[in-house]
Amino acid sequence: MRPSLLDPLFTPITSLAGVGPKVGALMERILPLDRGAHGARTADLLFLLPSSVIDRRSRPGIANAAPGEIVTLDLIIDHHQPPPRGNRSVPYRILAHDDTDEITLTFFHAHASYLEKQLPEGAQVIVSGKMEWFNGCPSMVHPDHIALAQDAASLPLVEPVYPLTAGLSGKVLRRAITQALARVPKMPEWQDTPFLRRQSFPSFDAALARIHNPETPIDAAPDNVAWRRLAYDEFLAGQVSLALVRARVRRLSGQPLTGDGQLVDALRASLPYALTGAQDRALAEIHADLARPERMLRLLQGDVGSGKTVVALLAMARAVEAGGQAALMAPTEILARQHFSTIAPLAERAGLKIAVLTGREKGRERKQVLEGLDDGSIHIVIGTHALFQESVVFHRLVLAVVDEQHRFGVHQRLAMTAKGDAPDMLVMTATPIPRTLVLTAFGDMDVSRLTEKPAGRQPIRTVTLPLERLSELVGRIRDAVAQGQKIYWICPLVEESEEVKLMAAEDRFASLQPVFGDQIGLVHGRMKGSEKDEAMRAFKEGKTRVLIATTVIEVGVDVPDATIIVIEHAERFGLAQLHQLRGRVGRGSKPSSCVLLYKEPLGETAKRRLAVMRETEDGFVIAEEDLKLRGEGELLGTRQSGTPGFQIARIDTHADLLETARDDARLILATDPDLQTPRGKALRLLLYLFGKDDAVRLLRAG
């Protein structure tokens, strides 16, 4: 149970004054971590740190204030000049002065009663805002802050600026954060005191207070001690929780999996191609891991189309040779079924019994799969989240393969760990994750890389085209269809809702159907599973030649003879996503192309992104550019720039702390494995604060 000390920080943000469901939803959009169905908690607001500050400390006096400068002025109010009655287009003007000059404060659509109260004639006041000069006359339009001189302390001279989203005002956000700060309880220190002293780190609550109420811009800078302290807290929470998971994993130590090679050899012989050198090497590394008594925790990294699936299949075959079962988890149902349909024929020819399990299998069908897994007659199962369910019991699960890892969280990995007989884990991802990020996101995993593509692949020609030339493009697509080519047509990414997404796809379908007749198909997220299958199959078999799709096909879909992909409103997609999508073509031996349709005018970043796509097909180069353009956060699909899975820490600024945190975590667990000492107990608070409840639960589970 979470210590009740922390309760005030674990209330939903809507428990704060001024935060209703609507404002709460807006706030969730800017919070760096997605809490999913649980919604954001008060603590999440504490960790929403300012993206910059406005420095209002300059107090030069009216006469010396430069145009455009943010200044704070000490004024005496002389005279109110309301607009003539009934003429709202004339602003409300207030004349004031200081020792140096006179100034006009200008308000459009003002409420006279409000201004009379805030800035009464004769009063000494303090205002802050941007200085402007109109025809040589000093003025300030809508000062950001106004206060009577006696309340001057309420005016922030260094004002933190938070990321905002449309409809959410900075004032509302600040007010909520101030309340959250007031709820921080007095807590014991969880960091090593000599370490804190060496680093000149303030205490946790002092660090938060300093960043949210800075006295100088430096107070709120990421490389300053206050922010670094919190980054270290976050790293340590992450490293301690990973270390706890690892300790647990080690306690359930693995089993050596070896085999006579019969299955693996038979499968390899039945492949219509030879493995690439990189696939061979990765497979050798995996088989060696499997043969060791320790559990395998390996990441298989390979760009889209590099052929990860077959490596997974051969790894699973070894697990079966060793007398166990294997499971392959995919993030979407389409992908699970696709894996099943490519793997099943190969596997069955080699004498393997293989099944699929997603949310769709119901009744008898589901019961049969569950029984087969339980009695061991099914060797390999391919599925979605459905595999995590409690009703799924394995006879002897020894290998779990997770495809496109970043869609699954640590939580789900733990759930899978609990399923089997301490199964070995193979995690596959197309995202080229830099080494440091592997450490933060996965802990110490071994990595195999597929650095080459299968032979015979041709480069994908990528072109960009303004939306105005749509009809020209449709003409060319028609020619391509006449030549028997297959085309994906990806509909724009829309944030709003599933409904709008659907509309975009259905509109495009409706507008193109007259051209392509029954050769055009549609697949989107709202379709029933069986309808999706049907649409994918029709496209795969060539009954349809143009497939209109929402981004449901983004990850992993394999139709090797599709040769053209059109991406509508490409400017709305991130680089990683564009790269993933483009990877749907260029999978066979025929030349392919990718058409990025964009709407003008293009912003600078969008322009750069499209240029990168034209220039390179190399996933690593693209990931690097992505990092430059958007920060690491987007790489693994988290929302804010920052480091994946982190609210505060940034790899670029705080990398030096990460290694220290890892060593610190190891040392802590070596001496206090159950977090029972006073520091250990304080560390439990830290784990909760950073949402590592799973890890704390492991402590008790033992």
Footprint on this chain of Mg ion (rule: CB under 5 A): 556
Which residue type occupies 605? Answer: T
What gap in Å lies between CA 370 and CA 358, rounded to an integer? 12
Closer to ligand ADP at the Cβ: 218 or 447? 447
b/e for 560-592, b at 16 or more Cβ within 10 A? eebbbbbbbbbbbbbbbbbbbbbbbbbbbeeeb
**Residue-level length of the chain:** 702
What gap in Å lies between CA 5 and CA 186, rounded to an integer? 9
Smallest distance, ligand ADP to C-beta of residue 401, A: 12
Binding partner of 160, given Mg ion, ligand ADP, none, CB within 5-8 angstroms per partner class = none
Smallest distance, Mg ion to C-beta of residue 344, A: 16
Closer to ligand ADP at the Cβ: 311 or 373? 311
Smallest distance, ligand ADP to C-beta of residue 564, A: 17
Smallest distance, ligand ADP to C-beta of residue 304, A: 4
Closer to Mg ion at the Cβ: 428 or 657? 428
Radius of gyration of the chain (CA): 30
Smallest distance, ligand ADP to C-beta of residue 430, A: 6
Closer to Mg ion at the Cβ: 220 or 430? 430
Residue in the structure block whose two tokens are 């006009």: 104
Q: What angle do CA 385, 409, 221 make, to 5 degrees?
A: 155
Smallest distance, ligand ADP to C-beta of residue 460, A: 14
Closer to ligand ADP at the Cβ: 195 or 273? 273
Residue number of the CB closest to ligand ADP reads: 307
> What DSSP string describes 307-375?
-HHHHHHHHHHHHHHTT-EEEEE-SSHHHHHHHHHHHHHHHHHTT--EEEE-TT--HHHHHHHHHHHHH
Binding partner of 133, given Mg ion, ligand ADP, none, CB within 5-8 angstroms per partner class = none
Binding partner of 39, given ligand ADP, Mg ion, none, CB within 5-8 angstroms per partner class = none
Closer to ligand ADP at the Cβ: 275 or 465? 275
Closer to Mg ion at the Cβ: 184 or 330? 330
What gap in Å lies between CA 381 and CA 370, rounded to an integer? 10
Binding partner of 558, given Mg ion, ligand ADP, none, CB within 5-8 angstroms per partner class = ligand ADP
Smallest distance, ligand ADP to C-beta of residue 202, A: 47
Binding partner of 273, given Mg ion, ligand ADP, none, CB within 5-8 angstroms per partner class = ligand ADP
Closer to Mg ion at the Cβ: 556 or 645? 556
Sorted by sequence, the CB contacts under 8 Å of residue 687 that are 6+ apart come out as 237, 240, 241, 693, 695, 696
What gap in Å lies between CA 1 and CA 20, rounded to an integer? 28
Closer to Mg ion at the Cβ: 556 or 644? 556
- Of the candidates 387, 391, 422, 389, the one whose C-alpha atom is nearest the C-alpha of residue 402 is 387
Smallest distance, ligand ADP to C-beta of residue 271, A: 8
Smallest distance, Mg ion to C-beta of residue 25, A: 34
Binding partner of 462, given Mg ion, ligand ADP, none, CB within 5-8 angstroms per partner class = none
Question: CA torsion angle for 143, 145, 150, 151 (degrees, to 10)?
Answer: 170
Binding partner of 306, given Mg ion, ligand ADP, none, CB within 5-8 angstroms per partner class = ligand ADP
Which residues are near ligand ADP by CB under 6 A?
273, 275-276, 279, 302, 304-310, 430, 454, 556, 558, 560, 587
Neighbours of 400 (CB within 10 A): 25
Neighbours of 649 (CB within 10 A): 26
Binding partner of 310, given ligand ADP, Mg ion, none, CB within 5-8 angstroms per partner class = ligand ADP
